[in-house]
Amino acid sequence: MQAIGVDIGGTKIAAGVVSEDGEVLAHTRRDTDATQPAAIEQAVVDAVAELRNEHEVGAVGVAAAGFVSPRRDRVLFAPNIAWRDHPLRDRLAADIDLPIVIENDANAAGWAEFRFGCGRDVEHMVMMTVGTGLGGAVIVDGHLLRGAFGAAGEIGHLRVVPDGHYCGCGHEGCWEMYASGRALTRAARASLITDADRTGALVELAGGPGHKVKGPHVTDAAQEGDPLSTELLADLGRWVGEGAASLAAVLDPEMIVIGGGVGSAGPLLLEPARRGFLAQLSARGHRPAARIELAELGNEAGVVGAADLART
């Protein structure tokens, strides 16, 4: 059965028809305004209608950032859209006569990676979505871990430094503050002050100092061989890996997949992450160590995973 996956982001909606083996057969997009929840719902309805014109589908999966109820019908809380205990499924169902499920966006991306990406041969997997923030998905015995209240997999809020950096969630020291694009941007800007004479390449790429410098400039500069940027990515990778060792203590996965925008740094991030992981893995040598790999699916992971979860 083909299904439609919809991925609601902060500025746009991506939607696609997804085959049973994870292929995206058709796409569409809509620009959205996060301050207009009703318009977002309408855009989802429109996108689904457009895709159904040409394709036979049996279900719709909708992914969004936020906590989703265990029954997959309500958005309990969304950080970027004004949804609070919002009956998103019922609202969409009024205009879409197909089974609909709502999913957390990181869970959708992780599920895609598990079903069709580099996790396709494992049964226990953790996906780390290292984007602006740090999202996660946990696969246990081939099932997506949703938790008692739908909030499982919020790995970015594992505390890694007591009294550490403030997170948007109001707490200090969340992993997300050390292993995300936001962390990379912040570290790069700090180095403008503390390590000014080594920031030439970075500032040139950014087109100026200060707030012009952002995480992607670090990745670009590192890929061109800039030593400081390479160190900044390595430090980020170390935090990714060290935190992953804590996850491994609890979950004992076979594979940890690194995706998200920062994951595009490739080996510059992956190798330090692997080293950090092994350096902190408890009982290394007395147990097999999880493999850490880069995600194989790109930006479409959310669409693919949402569609596939709608079939299950």
Note the residues at the interface with its own copies (CB under 8 A): 67, 76-77, 84, 122-124, 136, 138, 140-141, 143, 145-167, 169-172, 174, 178, 186, 190-197, 242, 245-247, 249-254, 279-280, 282-288, 290
Minimum CB distance to its own copies smaller for 34 or for 158:
158
Question: Minimum distance between the CB of residue 148 and its own copies, rounded to whole angstroms?
Answer: 4
In the complex with its own copies, the residue whose CB is nearer, 89 or 146, is 146
CA 266 from chain center: how many Å?
Answer: 16
CB of 226 to its own copies, least distance (A): 17
Give the shortest CB-312-to-its own copies separation in angstroms: 14
Tell me whether residue 15 or residue 188 sits nearer to its own copies (CB atom): 188
53 or 194: CB nearest its own copies: 194
Least CB distance to its own copies at residue 125 (A): 9
Q: Which is nearer to its own copies, 157 or 311 (CB)?
A: 157
Residue that is written with structure tokens 């309408």 in the block: 42
Among 24, 21, 2, 20, smallest CA distance to 302 is for: 24
What is the closest distance, in whole angstroms, from the C-beta atom of residue 278 to its own copies in the complex?
Answer: 9
- Smaller CB distance to its own copies: residue 100 or 125? 125
To its own copies, the closest distance from the beta carbon of 283 in angstroms equals 6
Residue 76 vs 98, nearer CB to its own copies: 76
Q: How far is CA 247 from the centre of its chain?
A: 16
Q: How far is Cα 80 from Cα 94, in angstroms, rounded to an integer? A: 24
Task: Give the CA radius of gyration of the chain.
Answer: 20
Given a contact cutoff of 8 angstroms between Cβ atoms, the answer to whether 131 and 181 are in contact is yes
Residue 225: Cβ-neighbour burial (10 angstroms; 0-12, 13-18, 19+): exposed
Q: Which bin fits 22, alpha (ψ -120 to 50), beta or left (φ > 0)?
A: left
Ramachandran region of residue 191, left (φ > 0), alpha (ψ -120 to 50) or beta? Answer: alpha
Give me the least distance between CB of 95 and its own copies, in Å please.
27
Q: At residue 100, what are phi and psi to the nearest 5 degrees?
A: -125, 140
Burial class (CB in 10 A: 0-12, 13-18, 19+), 196: exposed
> Length of the chain, please?
312
7 φ/ψ angles, rounded to the nearest 5 degrees? -120, 110
Closer to its own copies at the Cβ: 47 or 251?
A: 251
Q: Give dist(CA 149, CA 158) in Å, integer.
A: 17
DSSP 3-state assignment of 215?
helix
Q: How far is the CB of 13 from its own copies (least distance, A)?
A: 23
